Structure 1
Amino acid sequence: MKAVILAAGEGIRCRPLTSTRSKVMLPVANKPILEHVIDSLAKNGIKDLILVVGYERERIMNYFEDGIDLGVNIRYVHQKAQLGTAHAIKQTADLMEEEDQEFMVLNGDNVIEPQTIKELIDKHEGNATILTTKKKHTRGYGVVIASGKKVTRIIEKPTTELSHIISTGIYIFEQEIFERIEHTPISPLGEYAITDTIQHMIDDGMEVGHVVTNSLWRDAVFAWDLLKDNSMVLDRSEDYTIKGTVEEGAVIHGKVSIGSNTVIRAGCYIVGPTMIGNNCEIAPNVVILPSTTIGHNVSIGSFTQIQNSIIMSNTRIRSHGSLSNSVIGLNNSIGPYFIAEDRENVKIEMEEELHTAEKLGVITGDDITIGHRVLVKAGSMISHNCLIESGKTIAQKLPENSIVV
């Protein structure tokens, strides 16, 4: 069975992290989300993959290449304009062979595990099958109404709660879906939605089933959702090895992974689940608490404390810092005595709507330079390529290329 992975979108609601990368390339447990998807497919024997790419596609293609390092075969299709899921799927028609009776479609920006895929493979039937899951709040998702295993209706982003069963965006289709897409009308949002195609199939009496999963499926809608994704993947991971050097006097508790050529100096206190990448320098007396991922080529100065955070690669955090419930982008330089406040139920305005983050510190983009003794208030978003001079307090969203003096 082939798999089509949709990886063309930007992920606007995950800015500032997606200002410089596609959402599928956001790191969770030191791997892009898309790599977790590919790994889950490969462990189920699905190794012939077609990636539909668009926004920042070069970054995706340079990272994964032909897939040989992951034990899969990857081919790419460029969706030049993001005109919806049905349009994206249609782009792959020419890469299907006659012997491909059916194929899987899934999003490259959802965190899943191998069991998630296995459940759909084992239980799919009919002309199309949707992998579904139950969710308390269904706003923003495709909602499925079913009678037993049979889908009777699928509604894209309804304004009222009609059901608590939602589509995960993972499907198994037969080849005739391409012809069906040809006759899918454009939606009021100006897109060709695969949910509309499926509803037309149902209306024409075709058999559309669904399989409910309780396995890992996480949709990072907003940038702060990465923290929960990261925590869940770290909790479930079995890949914890210590390849670097841990000096005498450092204390390691629980599931902690330390990469090659990384040095943990004496006096450090690290509690898992925590993952630290390759070529890192963790200075004496650093405290790293659970659900933290630190990328590659990162240095952290003495007396800094980090908890439930993602620190991306090539970042330098100097001494006496405090970071909690935060996401720090690539290539950041953060001065000493940096404090990122965090609190619960932070209100954040995005796309002219007010959203709530359960608990959040700061989110930064890439290539940011921060001086010493800088305080950042909870919920602040710092876009890429900003400069913040010493002694400043940041309590708002900073657009890209900002200079705070």
Structure 2
Amino acid sequence: MLAAGEGSRLRPLTRNRPKPMLPAATKPILEHVFDQLIDVGISDIVVVVGYRRDRVQSYFGSSYRNASLTYVDQGKQLGTGHAVLAAEAAADGTCLVVNGDQIADSRIVRDVLEAHNSDAAATVGLLYASSIEGYGGVLVEDGRITTIVEDPSDGRDYLLNVGIYVLDSAAFDAVRAAEPRAGEHLLVDGLSELIERGDVVRGAVSEGTWVDATYPWDLLDVSVELFDTGVVDGDSGANVHEEATVHDSAEIRDPVVVDRDCVIKPGSVVGPYVCLGENVTIGSNAVVEHSVVDTDTRIGANATVVECVTGTGVAIGPGSTVPGGPSDVRVQDRIFEDEDFGALLADRVRDRGSVTYDPGTLVGPNVEIQAGATVRGIVDEETEVRS
């Protein structure tokens, strides 16, 4: 399990935790990945950790659902191939390698395992996809992979590499032999090395569900996909925790997930497509739609929150408004146009009420926003925003 990366394009959410620990619905992405592996009978998992590894290890400990968890520290994050080699000593012969920051359902895992046989040095999980921009692409002939590249741009009909592999010892040797790029050892370069040698690298095409969050607003799309495909049950009758408190006059619109110790106060409207983490409070007459609200967050009375992602311990004051997109959002050196995205409020952002967030706003951790302010663009961490 490769779970060492930060997820820099998801900043500032990853300022305090790695991407695999960000919420998908109300559980960490990595927990969903574990569930899918265990559902196909995997019982021993080696987890390669690195960036903020304490957040992974303290959350899961030494076991999860009776599966044994062993941790290997990658140290410096020098690529997927480097991560695989860090775990080599803990692997016992042929092994399954899975990205811990992307959710692939058990059908894909099963299809890859069943497609692998003794004549192959490696087998790769694949999907048909309308676009593979930013991901790995694969060309296949008669079940054998002939080409595997990152972010292809030559217009050929590539299949999507979903980051699930079965590798035998020859694959580890090939990863070690492949030339690094920009100081990083990539797993796909090792697979290309196998193909060039004439070894068999198989492709397992699946129809399972695969979701990934590359940018902050993708966490909204991930929750929608998990609801719509049934990976997460969004029926409020089944998915409002028995230890949550929902006032009789509050309205819950499916699909939703409401975790333990949440409080939903009178007259509020929650849903559709809302995920409330543990110990979230929704104030009286507040409206929350299509949002991922992480643990210990407080949304004040009469607030409106649409297409919003929060970190932990956020306080959205009474009467504040996140109106939703579309919006243009800047991430690193790119501008994304017309994204349906209201705002990202990272860990421990606090507004004092009657605050308006322009669509596409990104607010860093530990920001204080004074009452009546209008917030737009990117707000750096530890900042005070005045009205």
Answer whether TM exceeds 0.5 for this pair. yes
Q: 1:369 aligns with which of 328, 333, 350?
A: 350
2:240 is aligned to 258
Looking at structure 2, the residues matched to 347 and 93 of structure 1 have their Cα atoms a distance apart, in angstroms, of 43
1:314 is aligned to 2:296:
yes
Partner of 2:80: 85
Cα 1:377/1:256, change in 2 over 3 Å: farther
User: What code does the residue aligned with 1:323 have?
Assistant: V
Whole-Å separation in 1 of the counterparts to 2:337 and 2:121: 39
Match of 1:359 in 2: 340
User: For the residues of structure 1 that align with 2:32 and 2:214, how far apart are their CA atoms?
Assistant: 17
Question: Aligned AA for 1:317?
Answer: I
- Counting only pairs closer than 5 Å after superposition, residues 63-212 of structure 1 correspond to structure 2 as 63-67=59-63, 69-97=64-92, 100=93, 102-125=94-117, 126-187=120-181, 189-212=182-205
Count of aligned positions = 384
Q: For 2:282, which of 285, 289, 300 is the aligned residue?
A: 300
- Stretch deviating more after TM superposition (49-58 or 135-144): 135-144
**Aligned-partner SS, 1:360:** coil
Following the alignment from structure 1 to structure 2, what is the Cα–Cα distance between the partners of residues 85 and 257?
Answer: 36
Which residue in 1 is equivalent to 2:370? 389
With 132-141 and 197-206 compared, the bigger mean Cα shift is at 132-141
Counterpart code for 2:36: S
Output the TM-score relative to the length of structure 2. Answer: 0.95
- Segments of structure 2 that go 5 or more residues without pairing to the other structure are none
What is the CA-CA distance between 1:335 and the residue it aligns to?
0.9
- 2:216 equivalent to 1:229: no
| Change in 2 beyond 3 A, CA 1:240/1:62 | same
Q: C-alpha distance in 2, partners of 1:303/1:54? A: 43
Scaled by the length of structure 1, the TM-score of the pair is 0.91
> Aligned partners of 1:357 and 1:223: how far apart in 2?
14
Find the residue that maps to 1:390 and give its secondary structure.
coil
Q: For the residues of structure 2 that align with 1:276 and 1:61, how far apart are their CA atoms?
A: 25
Q: Which runs of 4+ in 1 moved over 3 A?
A: 235-241, 253-256
**How many angstroms does 1:148 deviate by?**
2.8
Hey, what's the Cα distance between the residues in 1 that align with 2:37 and 2:136? 23
The Cα shift of 1:76 comes to: 0.4
| Contact 1:255-1:272 at 8 Å conserved across structures | no
1-structure distance, mates of 2:232, 2:178: 44
Q: Is the 8 A contact 1:380 1:397 kept in 2?
A: yes
Deviation (angstroms), 1:254? 5.7
* 1:270 alignment counterpart: 252
CA deviations over 1:234-264 (Å, ceiling 9, x no partner): 33447759xxxxxxxxxxx765511132111
The CA RMSD measured in Å over matched residues stands at: 1.6
1:357 to partner: Cα distance: 5.6
Give identity over the alignment, percent: 29
Distance 1:165 1:393 in 2: 44
Question: How far apart are the structure 2 equivalents of 1:113 and 1:181?
Answer: 26
Distance across 2 between alignment mates of 1:367 and 1:197: 42
